[in-house]
Amino acid sequence: MDIIGPIMVGPSSSHTAGAVKLGRLARAMWNEEIRKVDIYLRGSFAATYWGHGTDKALIAGLLGFMPHDERIKDALNIARERGMEYRFMSEHIDGAHPNSVRFVLYGKDKTVEVVGASLGGGVVELQEIDGFSLSLNGELPAIITFHKDQPGVVAAVTGVVAKRNLNIATMRLHRQGRGGRASMVIEIDGELKEDAKEEMLNSHPALMRIIFMPSLESDIK
Partner 1 sequence: MRSFEEILQLCEVDLEFYEAVIELESRESGKDFDSIYASMSFILDAMEQSVNSAIKSDFKGRLMKDEAQRFGEYISQANDLLSGKLIAKSSHIALSVSQYNSSMGRIVAAPTAGSCGILPGLLFAYNNLYAPTRDALVMALIVAGGVGEVIQKRATLAGAEGGCQAECGAAAAMGSAALTFLKGGSSEALAHAAALTLKSVMGLVCDPVAGLVEVPCIKRNGTLVALASICADMALAGVRSVIPPDEVVDAMRQVGRALPESLRETSKGGLAITPKARTLEKDILSQISPLSEI
Output the CA angle 3-68-39, nearest 5 degrees: 110
Give the residue with the Cβ less far from partner 1, 64 or 159.
Answer: 64
Give the residue with the Cβ less far from partner 1, 119 or 173.
Answer: 119
| Interface contacts to partner 1, rule CB under 8 A | 1, 3-13, 16-17, 40-41, 44, 46-53, 56, 68, 70, 72-73, 88-92, 120-122, 220-221
Closest CB 7 distance from partner 1, rounded Å: 5
Closest CB 128 distance from partner 1, rounded Å: 17
Give the residue with the Cβ less far from partner 1, 17 or 210.
Answer: 17
Closest CB 150 distance from partner 1, rounded Å: 37
Give the residue with the Cβ less far from partner 1, 32 or 219.
Answer: 219
C-alpha to C-alpha distance for 62 and 26, rounded to whole angstroms:
7
C-alpha to C-alpha distance for 83 and 90, rounded to whole angstroms:
23
Burial annotation 153-185 (CB, 10 A radius, 16+ → b, else e): bbebbbebbeeeebeeeebeeeeeeeeeebbbb
Closest CB 25 distance from partner 1, rounded Å: 20
Q: Which of 101, 104, 103 is nearest to 93 (CA)?
A: 101
Closest CB 9 distance from partner 1, rounded Å: 5
**217 Cβ contact list (under 8 Å, min separation 6):** 138, 139
Output the CA angle 119-120-126, nearest 5 degrees: 30
Give the residue with the Cβ less far from partner 1, 195 or 219.
Answer: 219
Cβ distance 21 to 216 under 8 Å? yes
Give the residue with the Cβ less far from partner 1, 89 or 208.
Answer: 89
C-alpha to C-alpha distance for 183 and 175, rounded to whole angstroms:
6
Closest CB 220 distance from partner 1, rounded Å: 7
Q: Which of 151, 129, 152, 150 is nearest to 142 (CA)?
A: 129
C-alpha to C-alpha distance for 121 and 124, rounded to whole angstroms:
9
